[in-house]
A and B are shown apart, each in its own frame.
Chain A
Amino acid sequence: MLLRTAVLLALFSCPPGPAPHPPCGFVGDATRAVALLPIAAGADGLLRALHDGDEVQLQKPPQGGFVIYAGVAATNLNRCLQSTAELIDVASGQPLTGIDQRNADLVDEHVGYFWPPDIFQTPNIPACPDALHVGVVNRSAILRVDVTDTDGRTGRAEVHVTPVCSDASCTCICGPNPTHC
């Protein structure tokens, strides 16, 4: 009885541990090529699959500016990988944004792909303000995502998207003249 009480006390007196996640390892079919599914977060923060012609939401992080949470779900690779994402201007072929690069542990299988658990493991593409004065809002763009897993497998996904704002402040700051908003 005393031992059980002590164990229970010890359990409840410790701070919660990290969210459990499986160790790195291959997921999918090793005989097939790396497969990537472009994804992005909506205004509700939930990650969804992207298709050519979709809009991607410019969102305000805590300290200002606007970013796009976009990356990939993937299969047929090690679920621990590095993901790099940016927007490319369709007209010029030049980058429209900076890149964001981060580690991801893909955990949840959904529609045949393994997804990052949250936006912390999904690239936060720095989009606005644009000091180069090109502006990203409402431009036709390609979301380009490159992945390299911990075993060295690589892959690239591209999808045509349009970055959009949900308010006038965003439209100005994400336009070509953000210094006068």
Chain B
Amino acid sequence: MKISFLLVILGACPGPQDVQLAPPKAGFQLATDSFSVAQGTEVQRCYFFRVPGSGTDPIWISHIVAAVNEGSHHMNVFRVRTILALDGEDGDVVDGGECWNSGNWSDWPLVMNSQEGGEIVDWTLPAGVAHKFTPGEKLMLQSHFVNARTQQTPGRGKAIVNFEATSAAGLQELGTVFATDQHIRICPGDDNVAFAQTCRFARQPVTIVAANGHFHSRGVKFEMSASDAQNQPGGQFYTSTQWADPTFTRDLAVPVEQGGGVFFRCTYSMAPQECADTTDHCCATFGPHVETQEHCNAFVYYYPKLDDATCF
């Protein structure tokens, strides 16, 4: 009798709800299913999609809305190019396995990312600027949820992104940069240890309009500046001290000169009693697992688009 009463009470108090977004009137929506994230685990799933439509006329996107459930570590959307091991067709999902590996991403251009779990990123691109897609183009949405020591997922995992089309003419194409500093190592007792790089991508002068940085729990500060043709950093346009939900800074208008790019610096501290990788003196080295590894990734959005730029 008591058990029945408890079940009724529990049933009347549902857990956190999955995010919801109505599809855009024009454009397209990418949405994952709702999946469980068991206590003590990290789940990374790669979802493959084809941009809807037919023909060769491009689809121009000027408004992006991303919604992900609380507990999301990241949600990244890439264009699929060279296939090595990770692949799928429209509707396929790769759960773990090759989805954890990223050896073929040096030419999978970034489309959009969001790290703001439980919140909605609503981004209207600057006037006259839009993301360009081709009907049938293959995209991959990678969703990473954590329900462990460093981050918690109170409900289930789910991510949705709306790409709202514009019919405006004379648009400039949005370009993206994905840059990552791969050989990093942070150890117990390290205090404000920093790793920095420049990523040179501006064959012509461009304007940075948005950016965000990404690292894990030992990260204490992420900074970005435009760099000149001599690799020298200028004024800082991005600072984040939040590792779990770093700011997606929009509405920037940072000029980058020809031959320049972006300078990004990740600073880390780790308490002496902390332990990441028990097989490596408790240190954290490059990798996707939040609990045991670290990242130093910069996501930058600019116009007009040049090449799809990646820096490794």
* Chain A contacts to B: CB under 8 angstroms: 15-19, 61-67, 69, 82, 86, 94-95, 97-103, 118-121, 124, 126, 128-133, 173, 179, 181
Chosen A-B contacts, 20 in total, with CB atoms closer than 8 Å, are A16-B278, A17-B282, A19-B187, A62-B182, A63-B103, A63-B180, A64-B106, A64-B107, A64-B310, A67-B182, A95-B230, A98-B197, A98-B200, A101-B196, A120-B184, A121-B185, A126-B311, A131-B261, A132-B201, A132-B202
Residues of B within 8 A of A101 (CB): 194-197, 265
State how many angstroms separate the Cβ of B117 from the closest Cβ of chain A: 23
Q: How far is the CA of A179 from the CA of B231 in the complex (A)?
A: 22
The answer to whether A15 touches B312, judged by C-beta atoms less than 8 angstroms apart, is: no
Report, nearest first, the 7 A-B pairs whose CB atoms are least far apart. Answer: A65-B312, A64-B106, A120-B185, A98-B198, A61-B182, A131-B201, A101-B196
Contact of B182 among A63, A94, A98, A99 (CB under 8 A): A63
Q: How far is the CA of A121 from the CA of B263 in the complex (A)?
A: 19
Closest to A117 in B: B185
Residues of B within 8 A of A86 (CB): 231
* Complex interface bits, B191-212 against A, C-beta within 8 A gives 1, otherwise 0: 0011111111111000000000
Q: Is B89 an interface residue when CB atoms closer than 8 A count as contact?
A: no
Residues of B within 8 A of A66 (CB): 312
Residues of A within 8 A of B104 (CB): 64
Give the A-B pair count, Cβ closer than 8 A.
Answer: 134
Query: Which of A16, A18, A86, A100 has most chain B Cβ within 10 Å?
Result: A18
The answer to whether A63 touches B195, judged by C-beta atoms less than 8 angstroms apart, is: no
Q: How far is the CA of A92 from the CA of B164 in the complex (A)?
A: 45
- Chain B interface bracket (under 10, 10 to 19, 20 to 34, 35 or more): 35 or more
Q: How far is the CA of A173 from the CA of B187 in the complex (A)?
A: 33
Task: Assess A102 versus B194: contact at CB under 8 Å? Given A63-B182, A65-B311, A126-B311.
Answer: yes
Contact of B286 among A62, A97, A126, A130 (CB under 8 A): A62
The answer to whether B105 touches A131, judged by C-beta atoms less than 8 angstroms apart, is: no
Contact residues, B261-283 vs A (CB, 8 A): 261, 263, 265, 272, 275, 278, 281-283
Residues of B within 8 A of A62 (CB): 102-103, 182, 286-287
Q: Is B306 an interface residue when CB atoms closer than 8 A count as contact?
A: yes
The answer to whether B197 touches A131, judged by C-beta atoms less than 8 angstroms apart, is: no
Residues of B within 8 A of A173 (CB): 106
Q: How far is the CA of A120 from the CA of B287 in the complex (A)?
A: 14
The answer to whether A131 touches B309, judged by C-beta atoms less than 8 angstroms apart, is: yes
Q: How far is the CA of A7 from the CA of B253 in the complex (A)?
A: 61
Q: Is B72 an interface residue when CB atoms closer than 8 A count as contact?
A: no
Residues of A within 8 A of B263 (CB): 99
Residues of A within 8 A of B162 (CB): none
Q: Is B188 an interface residue when CB atoms closer than 8 A count as contact?
A: yes
State how many angstroms separate the Cβ of B157 from the closest Cβ of chain A: 23
Q: How far is the CA of A99 from the CA of B229 in the complex (A)?
A: 11
Query: Which of A65, A66, A82, A100 has most chain B Cβ within 10 Å?
Result: A65
Q: Is B44 an interface residue when CB atoms closer than 8 A count as contact?
A: no
Q: How far is the CA of A63 from the CA of B86 in the complex (A)?
A: 13
The answer to whether A64 touches B197, judged by C-beta atoms less than 8 angstroms apart, is: no
Contact of A63 among B105, B185, B308 (CB under 8 A): B105
State how many angstroms separate the Cβ of B286 from the closest Cβ of chain A: 6
Residues of A within 8 A of B181 (CB): 100, 124, 126
